[in-house]
Amino acid sequence: MPRLISRPGTRWIFPNAPVRPVTLNNGWRMPSWFDIRFLGGGSGVSGRECPDEAQESAELIVALMEAEHARGIPYNRMILVGFSQGGAMSLYTGCRFPETIAGMVCMSGYLIFPEVHMEACAESNRQTPILICHWTRDDMVPLASGERTVEYLRENGWPVEFEQYPMFHEVCMPEIARVGDFFAEILD
């Protein structure tokens, strides 16, 4: 099968979220970067996401980045990409990371903890390009959450590109192609 995004010389790392109880899913244990306690209210509703678990997950992602850096990969050649909670974590981790990275991609995700985002961010990634893709029919993470994320990041100086697709909470080939184009724009 051909690669969906052709980037010769690229090392792809696909971490799995830790398995933990998720309140929204009746406390069932499942892969989750952070607990979601309830739906609704948009991004940043106090108490909806667990900040301690988000920070623990960011530390796992940072450890992977540091391991790749130790292998000789410059931080400014790394891109954080995620879907749904993974997209939220790409923004959370990337904006706080103390070294400049190449970019961040958030697919059907949103900015968590916007009320403390600015003071938590590292200056090193204030100009890092961000691609946010969202689905107009998303029934898990409403389009409005993606739009608020884009608005917030742009108002605070981040260079953000925003793409919308007529899909539900999923990934489509035009989106994958756009992510590949984004990689070419920021890495070539």
Q: Supply the residues annotated as catalytic.
A: 84, 138, 169
Token pair of 46, please?
């106090």
Where b means 16+ CB within 10 Å and e means fewer, 94-112 reads: bbbbeebbbbbbbbbbbbb
Which single residue is written with the structure tokens 């959450």?
A: 145
Other CB atoms within 10 Å distance of the CB of residue 119: 6
Cα–Cα distances (Å) from 188 to 38, 102, 110, 180, 181, in that order, read: 41, 11, 27, 12, 10
Cα separation, 24 vs 43, in Å, equals 15
DSSP 3-state helix, strand, coil percentages of the chain (rounded to 5)?
A: 40, 15, 45
Give the Cα separation of 167 and 18 in Å (integer): 27
